[in-house]
Structure 1
C-alpha cells in the first residue's frame, strides 16, 4: 500500500468516475439518436459514426448542438408514457365512459324518461349493465 499514495488513489477514483459518467452520457446520446423521429436515417448514421469514431468530441458536439432537443424528447416520452398508463388504468377500472356504472345507469334512466327507451329495453340494458 505504500507504493500507491492516498492522493493517487483519490485521482484514480476521480478518473474512474469520469470514465463511467462519460459512458453513461454516450449511451444516453445513442438512445436519443435512435429515439428522434425527426432525424433521417443518414443523420442518425452520421451522428452515430461521429460519436463512435471521435467519442469525446462527438459526445461534446452532440450535447451542444442537440442538448435542448434531448430534453424535449425526454419530456414528450414521459408524457406519452403517463397518458398510456392513465388510459390503461381507466380501461382496467372500467371507467372509460367517464363515470362508470352509476353514470351509465343515470343515462339509461334519462333516456327512459325522455321516451327513447321502452320499459323492457330499459330493464334489459339495466340488467346487462349490472351483470
Structure 2
C-alpha cells in the first residue's frame, strides 16, 4: 500500500494547477500593463512595483480597477493584427513586378562567381545557377 492516499494526490494536483493558473494570471496582468499605450511610464512602473511587491493584492486590485479594459485592449490588438495580416496577404497576392536587370542580378552573379572561386560551387552548379538567374 502507498503512504500517499488518493485524496492527498488529488489535493496536490489541485494546488499545482492553481499555482499554474496564478502564474498565468500574473503574467497576463504584467503583459497588459506593458502593452497598454494609454498608461504613462510612471503608471506602468507603479503597477509593476505594486504587482511584484504585493502580488496577490496587486493582481486583484489591477483586475478590479482595469479588468474590463484588459479584454477590450486584447480585442483591439487582435483586430489590428488581423488587419495587418489581411493587408500583407493582399499585397502578397498582387501580381509581382517583373525583376529588373539592374544591380541585383549583377550582385548575385558576383556572389555566385565568388562561391565558385572559393570552391563552394562546382563549375556545373555555377553554370546552372547562372543560367537560372539570367533566364528570370
TM-score higher than 0.5: yes
TM superposition shift of 1:2: 2.5
TM-score by length of 1: 0.70
Residue 7 of structure 1 corresponds to: 7
What do residues 65-116 of structure 1 show as CA deviations (whole Å, max 9, x unaligned)?
1111101110010000000011001111117xxxxxxxxxxxxxxxxxxxxx
SS for the counterpart of 1:13 is helix
Residue 94 of structure 1 corresponds to: 94
1:43-122 matches, within 5 Å, as: 43-94=43-94
Aligned residues: 95
Task: State the 4+ residue runs in structure 1 displaced beyond 6 angstroms.
Answer: none
CA RMSD after TM alignment: 1.2
TM-score, normalised with respect to structure 2? 0.67
1: CA distance, partners of 2:7 / 2:59? 29
